[in-house]
Amino acid sequence: MKNIKRSWAEPYKMKMVELLKMTNPAQRKKALKEAGYNTFLLRSDDVYIDLLTDSGTSAMSDRQWAGMMMGDEAYAGSRNFYHLEEVVKDVYGYKYLIPTHQGRGAENILSKILIKKGDIIPGNMYFTTTRLHQELAGGKFEDIIIDEAHDPENEFPFKGNVDLNKLEKLIKKHGAEKIPYVCMATSVNMAGGQPISIKNLKELRALTKKHGIRVIHDMTRVAENAYFIQQREKGYAHKTIKEIVKEINSYTDGATMSAKKDALVNIGGFLAVNEWDVFEEARNMVVVYEGLHTYGGLAGRDMEAMAIGIGESVSDGHMKARVGQVIYLGEKMASYGVPIVKPIGGHGIFVDAIKFLPHMPQDNFPAQTLAAEIYLDSGVRTMERGIVSAGRKTNGENYFPKLELVRFTIPRRVYTQAHMDVIAESAARVYDRRIKINGMK
């Protein structure tokens, strides 16, 4: 009996359940047609298992719900703000906190403060709202992620890494004064939830320091990144997630956060910085766009739930089960031959729609088509992450991203292993009849 495998399991049990509506194929066909074949436009009542996003869809703990009852709904100086501020300092290590209604609220303020017209913002792959705020502030995004990140089959363990040569070239070409900061994301979303290594971060810090350039961290999924460092990077196996998260942040000058992911809340985010001047400006600006600097568009109870959620998110047991569930689903899908992005990332499984539907040109929207087919098959809702998400240039032409993916995003602490089986089987069914699938206009 020596070789029996030791499974992970959830470090929690259920106290309340939310009933789901089951649909039949005819109902799904009708719902999808009404949604213009766009899974974003489906009513969630018509969805069985919702994998559209891991954003704001997590299940809160009994402690977080109890915290909601401790909300201090004062207009200014709510006790929950001070609690959150303390947690951000303790767990994340950033000095000054500006709460915002969600991540993009922080991106807006940061971009407006740091970016001047004509500036260059290098980043390890774009995220939709982040890039848009940079562009709206007059900047231009430049992708400096390593080439491996654009190859869904490359098994490099840190596909979120920055290519320092690409960054050096940009500095040479434009001059450091044109680069207000490098936008560094952990668990790079559009690459498939791929982590950056501590080694790469240290090198990035050294290079940016030499040129006086800031590193601003999109820390939306930093704890998931820390888990991969613990599992894969030499010298980190015995460190806790909490220690690794703090070390990651120590190589950066500030952060934007969508707390709707890692931090286990349904709404909330923040901007955190170490520079007093930037903080002062942000504190004035947040009043215009979000609300007073001690609530930033959130209720006191939301800030309390966030403060508690941040603590839970950096627990080793939580992260083992969180990523364990994602890996379980990915391995099951791969065992049916479904082409997925490798290595499996932290927040979901990304199916390679170009390999799944090789007969379909990219401007017939293979990923959008595949998401629609999965919904028709089982009521599972997934998200397109390809040519549609990439948006259009100002002249109306499509961007043609190298990655054309369907994201099966797993909400935290919400679904069971049996749900994962149903999802994998549905993907396998659609894969079986892939040759018969036509694209969209």
Return the amino acid letter for 43.
Answer: R
Given 92, 127, 251, 431, the residue binding ligand F0G (CB under 6 A): 127
Type of residue at 360: M
Rg (CA), the chain: 21
Work out which of 67, 71, 99, 103 binds ligand F0G, going by CB under 6 A: 103
Among 61, 102, 124, 389, contact with ligand F0G (rule: CB under 6 A)? 102
Question: Please, which residues bridge with residue 352 across strands?
Answer: 405
Reference 303, options 42, 114, 19, 81; nearest CA is 81
Residue 99 β-bridge partners:
270
Residue from 70, 93, 129, 362 touching ligand F0G (CB under 6 A): that is 129
Stretch of 74-82, 91-99, 125-133, 227-235 lying at the interface with ligand F0G (CB under 6 A): 125-133
Instruction: Name residue, tokens 């951000």.
Output: 88
Q: Which of 61, 134, 189, 194 binds ligand F0G (CB under 6 A)?
A: 189
Minimum distance between the CB of residue 431 and ligand F0G, rounded to whole angstroms? 24
Region of residue 391 (left: phi > 0; alpha: psi -120 to 50; beta: else): left
> What are the residues facing 100 on neighbouring strands?
269
Q: Which is nearer to ligand F0G, 114 or 360 (CB)?
A: 114
End-to-end C-alpha distance for the chain, whole angstroms: 57
Residue with smaller CB distance to ligand F0G, 220 or 378: 220
The DSSP H or E segment spanning 276 is helix 276-289
CB of 59 to ligand F0G, least distance (A): 17
Which of 23, 39, 55, 230 lies at the binding interface for ligand F0G (CB under 6 A)?
55
| b/e burial code for range 356-388 (CB count within 10 A of at least 16 → b) | bbeebebeebbbbbbbbbbbbbbbbbbbbbbbb
Sign for the CA dihedral angle at 344, 144, 185, 245 comes to positive
Q: Please report whether residue 194 would count as binding ligand F0G according to CB under 6 A.
A: no
Provide the mask over 204-243, with x wherever binding to ligand F0G is found by CB under 6 A and - wherever it is not.
Answer: --------------x-x-----------------------
Residue whose C-beta lies closest to ligand F0G: 103
| Closer of 219 and 427 to ligand F0G (Cβ) | 219
Query: Could you give the 3-state DSSP secondary structure of residue 411?
Result: coil
Binding mask 144-183 toward ligand F0G (x if CB under 6 A, else -) reads ----------------------------------------
Alpha-carbon distances of 159 from 75, 151, 315, 319, rounded to whole Å: 44, 9, 24, 20
Contacting residue, 131, 260, 412, 419, with ligand F0G by CB under 6 A: 260
Task: Compute the least distance from the CB of residue 345 to ligand F0G, in Å.
Answer: 12
Measured from the CB atom, the residue of 218 and 384 that comes closer to ligand F0G is 218
Binding site for ligand F0G (CB under 6 A): 53, 55, 102-104, 127, 129-130, 185, 189, 218, 220, 258, 260, 269
